[in-house]
């Protein structure tokens, strides 16, 4: 027997199936537990009744209920029907929809765990000042969460979409330029785009809506583009794959054995201290 996992959403208690008799609910939960990765349940009525531990007649009545339209269902597709008969069993009609929700929640949870683990590892290693990278990671995580929320709206309108890598020819769209001008983000758009592209490719990020992700990276000021430009010093490039500009500066300060990034110090001021200490060569790419 193959081992599959089905998440039981708490919202089932508000669904119309929860208003059905006990044995009908038991058959439904049994079908959820038996479904394969495509939402198919392979069984006969007697076999399903045996798995659900209900009489065959009650199982048949439950199947008839699931095959019938439900005018009060929260899902308009298929007139509220929950299953469709297929050769060898039944198909759960909304299975893919709820599986996508489950997978997205898993991705979000994995991101949260990764970010927390990365913060802790960097804190213990003493490579960065907690107040620096934790703010950067936090704002980036929040921006990604907002991008996912905007993607949810797109999915609700046009059906489920899958997250994909950033296209090689990804560029600033007219709509994004209009949005930036309207909200006061028109300056340094190309720099924001460059940082966003580098970050996506270095970390192999996947998004459902790349424009939404870029908008949120601009709002969150990934890489400190606006912060550094306001100080009059452009942020250094990250020479190592996956490194953030802040880490290049922090690494240089560590090699020079000077004080780390101080509270309230801008990127420009921090960089100026490194250059003044003879560390400008540490901010240049290897030749």
Indicate the class that CATH gives domain 10-93: mainly alpha
Please choose, from the candidates 244, 207, 204, the residue with its C-alpha nearest in 3D space to the C-alpha of residue 224: 244
Q: Which band of pLDDT confidence, cut at 50, 70 and 90, is reported for residue 281?
A: confident
* Whether the predicted pLDDT of 68 surpasses 90: yes
Structure confidence by residue, pLDDT tens digits, 26-36: 999 999 999 88
**CA atoms 167, 171, 175, 181: torsion sign:** positive
Structure confidence by residue, pLDDT tens digits, 240-264: 434 446 677 778 888 888 877 666 6
* Whether the predicted pLDDT of 165 surpasses 80: yes
Q: What angle do CA 25, 44, 94 make, to 5 degrees?
A: 50
Mean pLDDT value across residues 125-145: 51
Q: Give the pLDDT confidence score for residue 93 in this predicted structure.
A: 87
* Whether the predicted pLDDT of 129 surpasses 80: no
Most confident range (mean pLDDT) of 15-24, 52-61, 104-113, 196-205 is: 52-61
Domain edges within the chain:
10-93, 99-283
Residue 180's SS3 state is helix
Please choose, from the candidates 93, 84, 94, 99, the residue with its C-alpha nearest in 3D space to the C-alpha of residue 37: 99
Least confident of 24-28, 180-184, 219-223, 240-244: 240-244
* Whether the predicted pLDDT of 134 surpasses 50: no
Cα atoms in the 13 Å half-sphere on the side-chain side of 163: 20
Q: What is the distance between the alpha carbons of residues 230 and 187, in angstroms, rounded to a whole number? A: 11
Least confident of 46-60, 87-101, 120-134, 246-260: 120-134
User: Who has greater pLDDT, 22 or 75?
Assistant: 22
* Whether the predicted pLDDT of 126 surpasses 70: no
Q: Give the pLDDT confidence score for residue 41 in this predicted structure.
A: 93
Instruction: Determine how β-strand 89-92 pairs with β-strand 206-207.
Output: unpaired
Mean pLDDT value across residues 51-69: 95
Q: What is the distance between the alpha carbons of residues 30 and 126, in angstroms, rounded to a whole number? A: 51
């Amino acid at each position: 027997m193959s081992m599959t996992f089905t998440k039981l959403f708490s919202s089932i208690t508000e669904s119309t199936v929860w208003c059905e008799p006990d044995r009908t609910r038991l058959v439904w939960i049994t079908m959820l537990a038996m479904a394969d990765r495509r939402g198919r349940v392979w069984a006969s009525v007697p076999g399903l009744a045996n798995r659900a531990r209900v009489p065959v007649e009650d199982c048949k009545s439950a199947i008839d209920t699931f095959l019938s339209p439900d005018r009060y269902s929260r899902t308009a597709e298929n007139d509220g029907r929950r299953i469709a008969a297929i050769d060898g069993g039944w198909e759960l009609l909304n299975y893919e929809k709820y599986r996508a929700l489950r997978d997205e929640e898993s991705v979000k949870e994995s991101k949260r765990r990764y970010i927390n683990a990365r913060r802790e590892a960097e804190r213990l290693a003493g490579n960065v000042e907690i107040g620096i990278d934790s703010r950067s990671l936090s704002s980036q995580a929040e921006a990604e969460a907002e991008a996912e929320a905007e993607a949810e709206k797109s999915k609700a309108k046009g059906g489920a979409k899958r997250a994909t890598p950033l296209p090689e020819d990804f560029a600033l769209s007219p709509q994004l330029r209009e949005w930036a001008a309207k909200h006061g983000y028109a300056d340094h758009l190309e720099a924001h785009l460059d940082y966003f592209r580098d970050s996506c490719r270095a970390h192999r990020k996947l998004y459902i809506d790349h424009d939404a992700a870029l908008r949120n990276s601009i709002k969150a000021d990934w890489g400190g583009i606006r912060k550094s430009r306001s100080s009059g010093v452009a942020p250094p490039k990250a020479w190592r794959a996956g490194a953030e500009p802040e880490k290049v500066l922090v690494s240089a300060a560590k090699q020079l054995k000077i004080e780390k990034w101080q509270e309230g110090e801008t990127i420009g001021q921090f960089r100026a201290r490194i250059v003044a200490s003879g560390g400008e060569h540490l901010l240049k790419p290897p030749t």
